[in-house]
Amino acid sequence: MAKVAIIGATGNVGRYTALAVSYIPYVSELLLFGRPGREEVLHGLAYDLQDSFAARGSQTDVKFSSTPKDLEGSDIIIVTSGVPRKEGQDRIDLAHENARMISEFAAMVGWYAPDAILFIVSNPVDVMTAVALKYSGMKPGQVIGLGTHLDSMRLKWNLSRFFDVHVSEVHTRIIGEHGDSMVPLWSATTIGGISIQNLPEFENLPEDRIMDNVMNAGSAIISRIGATVYGPGDAIATIVRTILGNEKRVLTVSTFISSEIHNIGDVCIGTPALLDKNGAKPLAINISEHEVDEFRKSVEKVRGITQEVIERLDEGC
Ligand SMILES: NC(=O)c1ccc[n+]([C@@H]2O[C@H](COP(=O)([O-])OP(=O)(O)OC[C@H]3O[C@@H](n4cnc5c(N)ncnc54)[C@H](O)[C@@H]3O)[C@@H](O)[C@H]2O)c1
Ligand SMILES: O=C(O)C[C@H](O)C(=O)O
């Protein structure tokens, strides 16, 4: 049985993530963690979750804390703390502001729970995953970000509607930045196990319109309700369940790649990775020439911003 901690549990994503994660059968303890001064809110949230557990007959223990030592013994620590973007902002605009708090939380996790899996959600998630990797001192496979898993799910949904098939019949993935330079892998997309390019409907597929929907999903939700909540929370819970259950599924998370995809790497970015109880192992894959070019651009963008953010942090700015 496992202990899962959520740093940033009082936020929009943190709250729903707590509920979604509590449905995973391997979770015996849920720790809601926040900064000092947030104890009353954390306490209220713990009470409310307890009521939910009572209502559904769950034995999961829910605790709250702002004391770093309480992170000890966690199997997974999810970080959802950070400033979210507002309408009109890009996720990248949050980089410098969120990097400082992520570096501090990562150092705390590296100290108190060095064997845990550290799972970053805060945006820009690829850059924050690299910051967390550096400042936690943990091994690359132990530090993951939500990456393009949610984007891949958004594409899956759009394709299931276009082909009019059950969503579980669609296998697809998006790699690269969780942002404007994301790359859909049409070469790795199948419907009912058949390559999408071999289906007659493929020639009418409105690729640009679908990718527009996927890329703008976050801002379309934020402009209407202020935050994305259920999509990220359930995407996070899938990844947590995969890791705790040692399920060895291949999901597209942000993780450090050295040269796995066509010799491109030295960055934390969304890439297909095998997930088990030890964390993420990026897969070496071959993709089409066009996809390689687009992925290289995405990597260069994310690597550049990551370097700038880490330099500023190292200078203490
Ligand atoms: N990767 C993804 O797909 C994805 C999806 C949704 C949200 N996010 C990101 O997750 C983060 C949280 O989003 P949200 O909608 O829950 O925001 P929110 O404002 O509702 O919650 C923010 C949380 O961070 C904490 N926090 C804020 N400033 C802090 C500081 N200086 N020190 C410590 N903790 C601090 C708050 O107390 C709160 O718990 C944002 O960065 C958002 O962009 C990422
Ligand atoms: O779009 C955002 O800023 C939130 C998140 O990254 C998302 O894609 O839902």
Alpha carbon of residue 11 to chain centroid: 16
pLDDT of residue 316: 83
Last residue of a domain, one of 145, 179, 214: 145
**Ligand 2, pocket-test mutation among 97, 120, 157, 222, most atoms within 8 A of CB:** 222
pLDDT of residue 211: 98
Using CA atoms, how far residue 201 sits from 159, 163, 206, in Å, is 11, 8, 10
The vertex-218 CA angle with 273 and 207, nearest 5°, equals: 70
- How many structural domains does the chain have? 2
170 and 125 share one domain: no
**Ligand 2, pocket-test mutation among 97, 228, 230, most atoms within 8 A of CB:** 228
284 and 164 share one domain: yes
131 and 222 share one domain: no
Residue 317 lies in a domain: no
175 and 112 share one domain: no
Q: Is 9 annotated as a binding residue?
A: yes
- Smallest CA separation from ligand 1 atom 5, residue: 232
pLDDT of residue 205: 96
Cα(298) to ligand 2 centroid in Å equals: 17
76 and 165 share one domain: no
Each of the 317 residues of the chain gets a pLDDT tens digit; together they read 999 999 999 999 999 999 999 999 999 999 999 999 999 999 999 999 999 999 999 999 999 999 999 999 999 999 999 999 998 899 999 999 999 999 999 999 999 999 999 999 999 999 999 999 999 999 999 999 999 999 999 999 999 999 999 999 999 999 999 999 999 999 999 999 999 999 999 999 999 999 999 999 999 999 999 999 999 999 999 999 999 999 999 999 999 999 999 999 999 999 999 999 999 999 999 999 999 999 999 999 999 999 999 999 998 87
Q: 74 is in which domain, residue-wise?
A: 2-145
Name the 3-class secondary structure at 3.
strand
156 and 266 share one domain: yes
Q: Is 302 annotated as a binding residue?
A: no
Residue 256 lies in a domain: yes
Active-site residue (options: 96, 166, 178, 290): 178
Residue 237 lies in a domain: yes
Last residue of a domain, one of 120, 145, 170: 145
Q: Is 192 annotated as a binding residue?
A: no
Q: Is 168 annotated as a binding residue?
A: no
Q: What percent of the chain is helix, strand and coil (3-state, nearest 5)?
A: 50, 20, 30
158 and 254 share one domain: yes
Q: Would you say the CB of residue 232 lies under 6 angstroms from ligand 2?
A: yes
164 and 107 share one domain: no
The ligand with the least distance to the CA atom of 126 is 1
Residue 149 is a catalytic residue: no
Name the 3-class secondary structure at 238.
helix
The ligand with the least distance to the CA atom of 128 is 1
Residue 314 lies in a domain: no
Using CA atoms, how far residue 9 sits from 14, 115, 200, in Å, is 4, 21, 47
Residue 265 lies in a domain: yes
Residue 62 lies in a domain: yes
How many whole angstroms separate alpha carbon 201 and alpha carbon 220?
A: 27
Residue 97 lies in a domain: yes
Structure tokens at 62: 């829910």
pLDDT of residue 78: 98
137 and 213 share one domain: no
How many whole angstroms separate alpha carbon 294 and alpha carbon 292?
A: 6
- Smallest CA separation from ligand 2 atom 8, residue: 218
Last residue of a domain, one of 126, 145, 164: 145
Structure tokens at 156: 């899956």
Residue 313 lies in a domain: no
195 and 87 share one domain: no
- Domain of 277, CATH number, reads 3.90.110.10
- Domain of 11, CATH number, reads 3.40.50.720
186 and 278 share one domain: yes
Cα(85) to ligand 1 centroid in Å equals: 9
